[in-house]
Every structure is written in C-alpha cells, then in structure tokens.
C-alpha cells in the first residue's frame, strides 16, 4: 500500500532536506517542512476515511533483523487504532508546524526547530504503525530523542538543558523496564510480533516465572503479569505517570509549540497507545491491570491537586495534561481501552489548543509566564481568549465540548466495572471538580480582573498584542475540532470502530448504582461546581485565596511544592549520584588511576634523568666500558668454568 | 725453540698496551697507532699458533689483517684530517658529537 508508506516518509523527507541543508534556508525552513507534513496529513485523512470500509493492512517495508527465530521487520500495521492515531497525530503536527512559523519567528534556531519537529512527526507516525515490539521500541526511543532535542532548543539557558536531561534520564528508567519486558516477551513467546504474540497468550496463562532465581529463592509469579508490568514501566515514564512524572512539567522549558505537540497531544500519549495496542496481553494479566488502574487514578488526582496552586501558565497546563493522562491510563487499567483512546484523541485536540493558546498569551506579553503578572488580557487578545475558553470548557467536561463526551465515557466505563471501578470513579469525579477549578482559575487570572502586567515596575511598558494569523489559525481549527470531535466520536460510534482492535469491556453488575445519564449529569454538576469555586476565588479581586493559603498552609505547601517529588528525588537519587560521581572522580580517577599513569611517567623520567649522565658522548668512555665488560666476562669464564 | 707461552705473553702485553693507549690517550693519532699495535698483537698470536699447530691458515689470516689494517689507517687518517678541519683539534675530548 503505497499511500500509507508516504505518511511517514514525507515528514522524514522534510527532516532530511531541512536538516541537511539548514544553513541555506535562513528562516525559510517551513517552506519545505510545512507542505510535506500537510501532504502527509492529507493522505492520513484520506486513509482514515477509507479505513471504515477497507480491511486492515500490513506492509513490510524491509527485513531489519533476521537471526534464528528472531524476525524483526520494519512494517506498517494500518488498522483502525493506527488510523485514528495517525489522523490525530498528523493533524496536530501540521497545525503545530503552522503555529511555529509565527511563534518561533526570528529565532536563531528556526530551521533546526523545523527539522526536529518533522523528525518527531515521522517517528511518532512510525511508532503508531509498528507491528512488533522492537520496531515500537526503536521509535519509542526516537520520539524521546526528539523530545530531548526540542526541549533543549534554547541550549544556552541552564533550565532548558537541565529539563532536557531530566526528561531523558527519567525516561531511561521507564525504557529500561520496557526493554526488559520485550526480552521477557521474546523469551516466552519466541517472537516480538504482535500478530504472533496475541494468539499465543492463551497457552501461557498459567505459566509462572521465578523472580528470585538469582538469589536461589523461590518467588513464582505469573509471567504475563511480569511482562505487562515491565512494559507498563515504559508507559509510566513516557506518559508521565507517578512516580516517573516530574520530567513533564519541567519539559515546559522548551518552546511552546513542542509542549503542545510532544508533551500534550502525541508523545506522552504513546504510553496509553502502547497499553491499548497490547490489550490482549493486559487482559490476560489481572494483577498488572490493577496496578495500571491505580497508577492512573493516583496520577490523575495528584496532578490535579498540584495544578491548583501553580503560578506558571504552562505548568498548570502541563499538570492538567498529566492528570488527563492519568484518566486514560486508569480506564485502560479497567479494560476500557476504547474509552482511553477516545479521550486521548479529544485530549490531543483541546490540550494542543490550550498549549497553543498559552503560547499565544506568552507571545503577546513577550515571554511572561506567571499568571499573577497577567490579568485583563481579554480585551487585547480576544481570539486567544475565546479559543482558550473553549479549550477550558472541554477540559472541564462541560457539554457539548469534546472533553464532556470522552471524560464522561471514561467515568461511566469505570463505574460499570464493579467495586474497584467505582472507587476509581469517585477519584475521577473528584479530579474532574479540581480540573474545572484550576482551568477556570487560569482563565480568570489571565484574562479577567485587573491588568497586573505593567504594575510590577518593569523596565519597559508591556503592550499586549494579538498573535499573527499563522498562530491564530491553528487555534481556530483546534477550537472547531474541540467543539465537534467529542460529538462526532460518539455519533459515529468510535468505540464500535475501535472494537476491531480494542474490545469493549462487558458491564459488570453495579449494585444500587446510578444510571448512565445520572453519572454524566453528576460529573457535569461537579465540573460546574469547580467553575463556581474558581469564580468565587478568582473571578474578581478577593482576599479569599490568600486567606486559604494561610489557613491551610500545610495543604497549600504540598500542592505548591508538587508533593515534594523533586525534593525527594533530589535527596534520594540526584545528590547521592553526584556524591558517588565526585567520589569516583576525585578519589578513584584523580587519585588511583591518574596516580598510576603519572607514576609510571615519573619513574621513567627520573630514572632516565639519572641514566643519561652515563652518556658522556666521549667515545673513550664507551670503549672503556666495553673493555672492562669483555675482561669481566673472560674473567668470569675463567674463574667459574675452569676452576 | 721459544715456547708458545712466550709468544702468547708478548702478544697479550702488546694488546694491553694498545688497549690502554686507546682508552686513555687523548690524541687521536696516537689512538690510531695504538689500534695498529693491537692488530699486530693479534698477528703475533696468529703466527705463533700457525707454527705450533703446523697449520698454514693462521699465516693467511695475518695477510688479511695486515691488508685491513692498511685500509683502516688510510681511512682513519682521512677521517682525522677532516675532523681536524672541522674542529681545529686532534684532541678526542672535542669529538663529542654522540652526546645530545
């Protein structure tokens, strides 16, 4: 199938052209990158609409590794799950390419930036199209690399490269688990291809593996659970789930377009996508599913509580991303993979919208990110305000916007999965209230109230201005998507569409439970309640927030300091690592190794210095030494052999 | 008949005389002469043993040694002349080119 091959190849071509010839573009890199990505998007859209009737296809591009039983090909597996993902990824990628033209205008790394986002688009498309675990891992790493390269775009700034390193290292922890999961899957199934693993799962249901074998102990656990959990560790890193999440908010040091593309809409959802793709395995691993569900739920609520008090506009949106990812992971853990992917898609639209809107706000204030130094922007950047309002309504789950359909589908699915599901549903509803609160806190602080941006005695006056049309067009398109995506998804039956790969979980008996409509009504009321609180606290100037922060200072500090995760990791991992590094550097490297190397050199230099005095250059001295030696040898011979 | 040991003793004395001369004299012409003395000490040995063992080989070797010695003196004197032109001296201590 040629057209499907073109979807990843066009962005790759864009990367190669802009990446290799970047010195010649001089700020015109978008002329190559944008049309190619747009073409890729057009093909992806066409194929998406064709996929309703066409059967799934599998294209082998080339055999990569063929050794013994190991058979790894670079293949394109195009089915319904891949189709919707591709549609979302290419749409957001195209809009972000367009947005970047305005946002990064005049940046010294403009063309490099375009090269990298094209490379990212290619990698993400290939990740979605993978037909085996190794191929998926390669592109899983490739998107991680692109994320690193783009976070560190402004590499002169210390926070940028610190954040990039943090993202890269934290993801390594998760990827290590992912890799071990692949190894174990290959050991157990003898293949890394999904099409060969999934049918074989049934015959390994009762197989167990002894995890304590190295210590000559005996700790047998079901092998499928182990594989699922190891793979999930990769998803925890990539999708910023607790405890491997702190890199995501820090990654906001990168330029805003990549926050929207990579750290909201596409790359961070790769973990959810992987779980959905591996759903036959997870369905056969009940314990792993419990872990997945709880991790997601805890992430959702913890991230929401952190977002309540953050002052940085991008970090608020970042924590809300983390919280929404928690929702998706949670519902996957309850077997509702289709609901998770549906939320992933709508979230891709409205979260990209919120990030691009936040970028537009930052752009209009020439780089200001603190929401307490904004305010009253509504009349300056009306279009941005309107689109961000739509995004926030969608995020809060207010009908008829996208978030309402997908988030309520998640909550309903959770509620229908028995007692565990209902417990997690409660967490989900609580999170929804918090979500509505912090979204509108952001809106009120940024767009409502008094203008605080020129009251802080800055050197120059700030003149807020609406962003250029290259930045507002993506906002408009994404707003339209945000308005209609949820309705379209439900109206055209996305769950049935996805049920080709993602089975719909059966409804379990819920004793004395609510009906589906009551559940939806309840979460909408919860969201409205959250908005109301945000209005009371931040709608107009009031002293309540400050008073709350004083009286509940314990909770306030926990939220403001992000539950002290950074401090904890700093104390447990970072500082000891630095201490060990310093020890090895100062003591082992400089002391022992340099001591040996320099000692050898000193020995030969000093002994040579002494011996060189023998070389007088006087030939008679040498001849004397020779004569004495010859006499000595003869004398030795005479005395010891003759006598 | 003069016993063999006398010849050998004479040869040894001549050789040591030449050797000591080579080692301690500073004048390069004298050193060259001392080398000739050493070669002739060897010649005496050759001839003495040739007579003692009734073998002609030793005497033939003497001719070779004399030839080599002649060639050596010719070349050696040539080198000394050019060294003298270079250093304005026949003193061995001035010929220290081997030293760095």
Rounded to the nearest 10 degrees, the angle between the axes of helix A382-396 and helix A516-534 is 140
Is the pLDDT at A104 greater than 60, yes or no? yes
Percent of chain A with pLDDT strictly greater than 70: 97
Instruction: Please write the tens of the pLDDT for every residue from A120-163.
Output: 999 999 999 999 999 999 999 999 999 999 999 999 999 999 99
**CA–CA dist A69, A71 (Å, integer):** 6
Specify the 3-state DSSP secondary structure of A369. coil
Rounded to the nearest 10 degrees, the angle between the axes of helix A619-637 and helix B4-24 is 150
- The single-letter DSSP state of residue A105 is T
Specify the 3-state DSSP secondary structure of A239. coil
Average pLDDT, stretch A242-255? 90
**CA–CA dist A202, A199 (Å, integer):** 7
Distance from CA of A600 to the nearest CA of B (A): 24
pLDDT class for A167, splitting at 50, 70, 90?
Answer: very high
- Angle at CA A323, nearest 5°, toward A317 and A327? 140
> A618 to chain B: which residues are within 8 Å by CB?
92-93, 96, 99
> Is A232:A175 a contact under the CB 8 Å cutoff?
no
Q: CA nearest B96: which of B31, B26, B36?
A: B26
CB–CB contact B100 A619 (8 Å): no
Enumerate the H helices of A130-193 as residue ranges: 133-151, 158-189
- The single-letter DSSP state of residue A505 is P
Bridge partners of A71? A66
Is A106 in CB contact (< 8 Å) with chain B? Answer: no
Considering only alpha carbons, which residue of chain B is nearest residue A615?
B99
pLDDT class for A343, splitting at 50, 70, 90?
Answer: very high
Q: pLDDT value at position A563?
A: 87
Is A617 in CB contact (< 8 Å) with chain B? Answer: yes
- Report all structural domains of chain B as residue ranges with CATH numbers, in order of start: 4-89 (1.10.287.3510)
**CA–CA dist A193, A353 (Å, integer):** 36
What number of C-beta contacts closer than 8 Å exist between A and B?
Answer: 27
- Angle at CA A42, nearest 5°, toward A38 and A46? 170
Average pLDDT, stretch A267-284? 93
Q: State how far the alpha carbon of A486 is from the alpha carbons of A51, A344, A603, in Å.
A: 20, 11, 78
Instruction: Please write the tens of the pLDDT for every residue from A527-583.
Output: 999 999 998 888 877 778 888 888 888 888 888 888 888 899 999 999 999 999 999
User: Position of tokens 């799950």?
Assistant: A81
Q: Which of residues 53-92 of B touch A (CB under 8 A)?
A: 92
Considering only alpha carbons, which residue of chain B is nearest residue A623?
B23
Enumerate the H helices of A308-451 as residue ranges: 313-333, 337-364, 382-396, 402-415, 418-447
Locate A224 and state its tokens.
């499928």
Rounded to the nearest 10 degrees, the angle between the axes of helix A402-415 and helix A337-364 is 140
Enumerate the H helices of A612-641 as residue ranges: 619-637
Distance from CA of A631 to the nearest CA of B (A): 11
Is the pLDDT at A304 greater than 90, yes or no? yes
**CA–CA dist B80, B31 (Å, integer):** 11
**CA–CA dist A495, A416 (Å, integer):** 16
Q: CA nearest B83: which of B96, B73, B100, B99?
A: B96
The DSSP annotation for A148-162 comes to HHHHTTSTTSHHHHH
**CA–CA dist A54, A51 (Å, integer):** 5
Residue A55: asked if its preceding bond is cis (omega within 30°), the reply is: no
CB–CB contact A619 B22 (8 Å): no
Average pLDDT, stretch A107-121? 92
Is the pLDDT at A616 greater than 80, yes or no? no
Rounded to the nearest 10 degrees, the angle between the axes of helix A158-189 and helix A133-151 is 180
Q: CA nearest A260: which of A404, A391, A154?
A: A391
Q: CA nearest A265: which of A442, A57, A94?
A: A94
**CA–CA dist A616, A599 (Å, integer):** 28
User: Position of tokens 């291809």?
Assistant: A193
Cβ count within 10 A of residue A578: 11
**CA–CA dist A415, A339 (Å, integer):** 13
Bridge partners of A58? A77
**CA–CA dist A615, A33 (Å, integer):** 72
Is the pLDDT at A461 greater than 70, yes or no? no
Percent of chain A with pLDDT strictly greater than 90: 55
Among A117-121, A174-178, A212-216, A625-629, which stretch is predicted with the lowest mean pLDDT? A212-216
Rama region for A14: left / alpha / beta (φ>0; ψ in -120 to 50; rest): alpha
Is B16 in CB contact (< 8 Å) with chain A? Answer: no
> B95 to chain A: which residues are within 8 Å by CB?
619
Distance from CA of B67 to the nearest CA of A (A): 24
Residues of chain B with pLDDT under 70: 98-100
Nearest to B19 among A617, A618, A627 (CB): A627
Q: CA nearest A148: which of A15, A43, A238?
A: A238
CB–CB contact B100 A620 (8 Å): no
> Is A241:A296 a contact under the CB 8 Å cutoff?
yes
**CA–CA dist A18, A51 (Å, integer):** 32
> Is A467:A356 a contact under the CB 8 Å cutoff?
no
**CA–CA dist A83, B25 (Å, integer):** 102
> B23 to chain A: which residues are within 8 Å by CB?
620, 623-624, 627
Q: State how far the alpha carbon of A72 is from the alpha carbons of A125, A136, A183, A230, B43, in Å.
A: 18, 11, 13, 20, 87
Task: Judge if ipTM > 0.90.
Answer: no
Q: CA nearest A209: which of A231, A194, A187, A191?
A: A187
Average pLDDT, stretch A261-265? 91
> B100 to chain A: which residues are within 8 Å by CB?
612, 615, 617
- The single-letter DSSP state of residue A70 is E
Most confident of A76-90, A202-216, A504-518: A76-90
Q: pLDDT value at position A393?
A: 93
Is the pLDDT at A456 greater than 70, yes or no? no
Average pLDDT, stretch A591-596? 91
**Direct distance between the N- and C-terminal alpha carbons of chain A, in angstroms, rounded to an integer:** 99
- Would strands A220-222 and A208-210 be described as parallel, antiparallel, or unpaired? antiparallel
Is the pLDDT at A193 greater than 60, yes or no? yes
Q: How high does pLDDT run on average in chain A?
A: 89
Distance of CA B31 to the CA centre of its chain: 9
Specify the 3-state DSSP secondary structure of A209. strand
- The single-letter DSSP state of residue A76 is E
Q: CA nearest A504: which of A268, A347, A341?
A: A341
Enumerate the H helices of A453-515 as residue ranges: 469-491, 494-498
Nearest to B99 among A616, A623, A624 (CB): A616
> Is A129:A58 a contact under the CB 8 Å cutoff?
no
- The single-letter DSSP state of residue A55 is P
Q: CA nearest A249: which of A107, A372, A151, A396?
A: A151
**CA–CA dist A63, A287 (Å, integer):** 36
> B87 to chain A: which residues are within 8 Å by CB?
none
Q: pLDDT value at position A511?
A: 52
């Amino acid at each position: 199938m040629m057209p499907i091959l073109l979807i990843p190849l066009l962005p790759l071509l864009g990367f190669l052209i802009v990446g290799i010839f970047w010195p010649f573009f001089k700020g015109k890199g978008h002329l190559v990158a944008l049309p190619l990505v747009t073409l890729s998007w057009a093909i992806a859209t066409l194929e998406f609409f064709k996929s309703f009737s066409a059967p799934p296809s599998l294209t082998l591009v080339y055999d990569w590794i063929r050794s013994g039983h190991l058979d790894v090909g670079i293949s394109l597996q195009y089915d319904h799950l891949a189709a919707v993902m591709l549609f979302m990824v290419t749409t957001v990628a195209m809009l972000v390419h367009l947005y970047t033209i305005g946002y990064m205008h005049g940046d010294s790394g403009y063309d490099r930036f375009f090269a990298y986002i094209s490379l990212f688009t290619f990698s993400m498309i290939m990740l979605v199209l993978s037909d085996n675990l190794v191929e998926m891992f390669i592109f899983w790493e490739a998107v991680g690399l692109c994320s690193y390269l783009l976070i560190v775009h402004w590499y002169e700034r210390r926070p940028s490269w610190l954040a990039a390193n943090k993202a890269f290292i934290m993801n390594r922890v998760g990827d290590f688990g992912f890799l071990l999961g692949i190894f174990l899957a290959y050991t157990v199934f003898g293949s890394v291809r999904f099409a060969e693993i999934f049918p074989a799962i049934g015959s390994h249901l009762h197989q167990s593996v002894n995890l304590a074998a190295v210590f000559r102990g005996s700790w047998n656990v079901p092998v499928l659970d182990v594989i699922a959990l190891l793979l999930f560790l990769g998803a925890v890193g990539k999708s910023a789930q607790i405890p491997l999440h702190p890199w995501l908010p820090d990654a906001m040091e990168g330029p805003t377009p990549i926050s929207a593309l990579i750290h909201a809409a596409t790359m961070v959802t790769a973990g959810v996508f992987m779980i959905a793709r591996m759903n036959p395995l997870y369905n056969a691993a009940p314990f792993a599913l419990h872990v997945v569900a709880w991790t997601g739920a805890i992430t959702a609520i913890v991230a929401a509580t952190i977002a309540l008090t953050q002052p940085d506009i991008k970090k608020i949106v970042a924590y809300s991303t983390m919280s929404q990812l928690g929702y998706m992971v949670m519902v996957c853990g309850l077997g509702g993979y289709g609901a998770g992917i549906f939320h992933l898609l709508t979230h891709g639209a409205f979260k990209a919208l919120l990030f691009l809107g936040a970028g537009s706000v930052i752009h209009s204030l020439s780089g200001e990110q603190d929401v307490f130094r904004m305010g009253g922007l509504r009349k300056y950047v009306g279009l941005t305000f309107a689109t961000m309002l739509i995004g926030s309504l969608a995020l809060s789950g207010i009908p008829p916007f996208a978030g309402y359909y997908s988030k309520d589908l998640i909550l309903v699915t959770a509620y229908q999965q028995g007692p565990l599901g209902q417990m997690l549903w409660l967490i989900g509803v609580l999170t929804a209230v918090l979500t509505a609160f912090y979204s509108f806190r952001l809106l009120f602080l940024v767009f409502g109230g008094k203008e605080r941006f020129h009251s802080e005695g800055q050197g120059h006056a700030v003149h807020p201005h609406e962003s250029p049309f290259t930045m507002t067009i993506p906002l408009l398109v994404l707003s339209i998507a945000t308005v209609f995506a949820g309705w379209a998804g439900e109206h055209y039956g996305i769950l049935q569409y996805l049920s080709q790969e993602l089975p719909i979980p059966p409804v379990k008996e819920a004793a004395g439970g609510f009906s589906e409509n009551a559940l939806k009504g309840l979460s909408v009321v919860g969201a409205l309640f959250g908005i109301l609180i945000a209005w009371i606290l931040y709608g107009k100037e009031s002293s309540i927030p400050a008073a709350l922060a004083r009286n509940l200072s314990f909770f306030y500090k926990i939220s403001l300091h992000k539950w002290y995760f950074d401090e904890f990791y700093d104390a447990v991992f970072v500082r000891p690592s630095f201490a060990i590094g310093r020890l090895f550097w100062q003591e082992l490297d400089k002391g022992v190794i340099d001591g040996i190397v320099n000692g050898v050199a000193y020995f030969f230099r000093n002994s040579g210095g002494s011996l060189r005095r023998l070389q007088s250059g006087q030939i008679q001295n040498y001849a004397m030494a020779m004569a004495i030696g010859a006499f000595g040898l003869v004398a030795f011979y005479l005395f010891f052999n003759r006598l | 008949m003069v016993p063999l040991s006398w010849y050998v003793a004479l040869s040894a004395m001549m050789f040591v005389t030449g050797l000591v001369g080579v080692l301690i004299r500073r004048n390069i012409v004298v050193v060259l002469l001392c080398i000739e003395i050493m070669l002739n000490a060897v010649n005496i040995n050759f001839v003495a043993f040739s007579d003692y063992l009734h073998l002609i080989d030793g005497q033939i070797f003497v001719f070779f040694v004399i030839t080599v010695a002649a060639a050596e003196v010719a070349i050696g004197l040539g080198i000394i002349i050019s060294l003298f032109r270079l250093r304005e001296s026949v003193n061995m201590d001035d010929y220290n080119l081997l030293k760095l």
